[in-house]
Structures are given as structure tokens and as C-alpha cells.
């Protein structure tokens, strides 16, 4: 019981937590990206263009981030590198598209942004392809 109130942590618990965060955050985001891929032609003309680079390029960059980067994130491959486009995508979604509404339409973006920022700062943890390749 005293371990619940302890400020100490075990490295194994931290690594397992990072694995769960990577798999769940990346897995859920992969679904969002896949939906955009399969409905690309329907969305391309109406997709938001908050950075004024064109809706086709905006949608393509979001698909790259939400699908391809998220797949790599799930496996823990080049984790910090793929976290960067995910952080940018979620920051744009939260602060520009949803006008910073943390408790409204931007709530999911805020949660994803938080998860991806944590992974950017901490790295993938022990249970990742990054760790296997790095040895």
C-alpha cells in the first residue's frame, strides 16, 4: 500500500508506461490518418487550410503525420523524429483550427498533443525498435 504514495519510480514501470502511451496514442492517431487516406478525394477540396499552403498539401501533410508517423511511433522507430510532425499537427489542430478550446472541440487535440510532447521529451523507452537498433 505504501508504494502508491511513494515518489520513487521503477524503470520497468516507466518503460511499460511509455510503451502503452506509444501504442495507444499512435494507434488511435493512425485510425484518424487512415480515415483521411480512404476519403482523400472527398476531403481534399473542403479540408481546412490554416497555414494557407493549399488544402491538398495541408491534407497530405496531415496524412503523413497522422498515419505514417503514427505507425512508426507505435513500433518505437525513430520515435523522437516522428513525434515532431505529430506535435506540430496537433498544435495546429488545437490552437489554429479549434482556437485553443481545451475543453471544447479541441479536447482530443490537446490530449494527443500532450502524449506526443511527452514522447518527444522522453523518447520511446526500453520496449521499442529504437532501443533494439541502438544496441
Task: Determine the 3-state secondary structure of 88 from DSSP.
Answer: helix
Q: How many residues does the chain have?
A: 135
Q: How far apart are the first and last CA of the chain?
A: 37
* pLDDT of res. 87: 98
Domain chopping of the chain, boundaries = 15-134
Average per-residue pLDDT for the chain: 94
> What integer pLDDT is reported at residue 135 of this predicted model?
61
Percent of the chain with pLDDT over 90: 89
Per-residue confidence band for 6, with pLDDT thresholds at 50, 70 and 90: confident
Spatial CA neighbour of 26 closest among 84, 69, 88, 81: 69
Q: Tell me the C-alpha distance between 50 and 92, whole Å.
A: 8
Segment 100-119, tens digit of pLDDT: 999 999 999 999 999 999 99
Amino acid at each position: 500500500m505504501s508504494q502508491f504514495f511513494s515518489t520513487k519510480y521503477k524503470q520497468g514501470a516507466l518503460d511499460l508506461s511509455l510503451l502503452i502511451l506509444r501504442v495507444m496514442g499512435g494507434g488511435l492517431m493512425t485510425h484518424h490518418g487512415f480515415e483521411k487516406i480512404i476519403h482523400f478525394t472527398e476531403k481534399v477540396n473542403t479540408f481546412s487550410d490554416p497555414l494557407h499552403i493549399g488544402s491538398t498539401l495541408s491534407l497530405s501533410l496531415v496524412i503523413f503525420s497522422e498515419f505514417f508517423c503514427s505507425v512508426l511511433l507505435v513500433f518505437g522507430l525513430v520515435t523522437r523524429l516522428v513525434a515532431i510532425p505529430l506535435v506540430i499537427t496537433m498544435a495546429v489542430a488545437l490552437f489554429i483550427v479549434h482556437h485553443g478550446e481545451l475543453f471544447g472541440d479541441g479536447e482530443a487535440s490537446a490530449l494527443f498533443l500532450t502524449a506526443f510532447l511527452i514522447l518527444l521529451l522522453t523518447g520511446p523507452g526500453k520496449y521499442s525498435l529504437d532501443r533494439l537498433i541502438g544496441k
